[in-house]
């Protein structure tokens, strides 16, 4: 989407044409119950819905999706099992207990220790793949890497949660979630982002902004290494009580 804007440089105004990132609402229903309204960048909606249903614990396999109907502003997902609607928010202790039961991060192999320069390279690969970011300077990105540090999937979106769900949905649709080792994010690591990572078994979660206290607590509880990469190329390791995954 392009729009005429007024641009000021050195005190002078000029009219330019600017490419803008689209942000469009999509109300998501699962078996007739409203799950959420997402403000997302249109495109890859099937992967977005697949990833969202997985990270919300609604499905565990892609085959559990019976059908999807995606309209301009409404998406209807039918799953083969029962779905009673979204439950009320829980306290932190109950949330952690539920995540320990559902998340697969602690069940996956530890993998080899990763060097700092390898982590930095993963973030560089993600950033170099951000085509929307280069055009609009407005998108977030998420990328999944295998135990061999090879890219599995990548997605961009106006919302960081949506970008992560799209990347997760792509990996799920391709049957590659079991291969996921590292996830890189072009954003801070919040509790919700850490929760999504834990649900798919990420062992090392890397953000290009800082982590929140709840995200670090979740990482400690579920044995997931949480790392931030600074703009100067330094690395911050938050989950120091875990076995060292980074050398």
Q: Is the residue at 160 inside a domain? A: yes
- In eight-state DSSP terms, residue 115 is -
| Predicted confidence (pLDDT) per residue in 32-51, tens digit | 999 999 999 999 999 999 99
Q: How many residues does the chain have?
A: 247
Number of other CB atoms surrounding residue 244 within 10 Å: 11
Judge whether 38 and 164 are in contact, CB under 8 Å: no
Residues contacting 19, CB < 8 A, separation 6+: 1, 2, 135, 136
d(CA 29, CA 75): 6
Which CATH number do you get for residue 233?
3.40.140.10
In a domain, 161, yes or no: yes
Query: Is 52 among the domain residues?
Result: no
Ordered per-residue pLDDT tens for the chain, 247 residues: 889 999 898 889 999 999 999 999 999 999 999 999 999 999 999 999 999 999 999 999 999 999 999 999 999 999 998 888 876 666 777 878 888 777 776 667 777 889 999 999 999 999 999 999 999 999 999 999 999 999 999 999 999 999 999 999 999 999 999 999 999 999 999 999 999 999 999 999 999 999 999 999 999 988 899 999 998 989 999 987 666 678 7
Residue 20, in any domain of the structure: no
Q: Does residue 172 sit in helix, strand or coil?
A: helix
Distance CA 132, CA 139 (A): 6
CA distances, 3 to each of 6, 14, 42, 72, 243 (Å): 10, 14, 18, 21, 51
pTM for the predicted model, two decimal places: 0.92
Q: Tell me if 169 is assigned to some domain.
A: yes
**Residue 202: which domain range?**
92-237
Scanning the structure block, which residue is given the tokens 């050195």?
10
The neighbouring-strand residues paired with 182 are 145, 204
Question: Residue 216 domain-assigned?
Answer: yes
Q: Considering its fold, how many domains does the chain have in total?
A: 1
Residue 219 CB neighbours (<10 A): 26
Q: Is residue 24 part of a domain?
A: no
- The answer to whether 51 and 169 have CB atoms below 8 angstroms apart is yes
- Quote the CA–CA distance of 148 and 26 in Å, as a whole number: 36
E strand spans, 71-168: 74-79, 140-146, 151-157
């Amino acid at each position: 989407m392009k729009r005429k804007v007024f641009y000021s440089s050195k005190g002078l105004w000029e009219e330019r044409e600017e490419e803008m990132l689209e942000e469009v609402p999509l109300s998501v229903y699962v078996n007739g119950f409203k799950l959420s309204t997402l403000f997302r960048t249109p495109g890859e909606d099937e992967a977005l819905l697949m990833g969202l249903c997985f990270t919300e614990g609604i499905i565990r396999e892609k085959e559990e999706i019976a059908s999807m109907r995606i309209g301009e502003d409404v998406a209807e997902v039918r799953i083969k099992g029962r779905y009673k609607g979204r439950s009320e928010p829980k306290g932190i202790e109950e949330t952690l207990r539920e995540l320990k039961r559902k998340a697969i991060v602690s069940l996956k192999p530890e993998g080899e220790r990763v060097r700092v320069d390898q982590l930095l390279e993963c973030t560089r690969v993600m950033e170099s793949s951000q085509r929307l970011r280069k055009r609009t300077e407005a998108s977030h990105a998420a990328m999944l890497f295998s135990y061999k540090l090879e890219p599995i999937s990548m997605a961009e979106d106006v919302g960081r949660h949506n970008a992560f769900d799209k990347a997760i949905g792509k990996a799920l649709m391709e049957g590659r979630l079991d291969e996921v080792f590292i996830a890189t994010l072009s954003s801070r690591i919040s509790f919700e982002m850490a929760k999504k990572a834990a649900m798919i078994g990420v062992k090392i979660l890397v953000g290009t902004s800082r982590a929140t206290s709840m995200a670090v607590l979740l990482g400690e509880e579920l044995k997931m290494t949480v790392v931030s990469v600074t703009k100067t190329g330094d690395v911050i390791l938050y989950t120091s009580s875990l076995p060292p995954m980074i050398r």
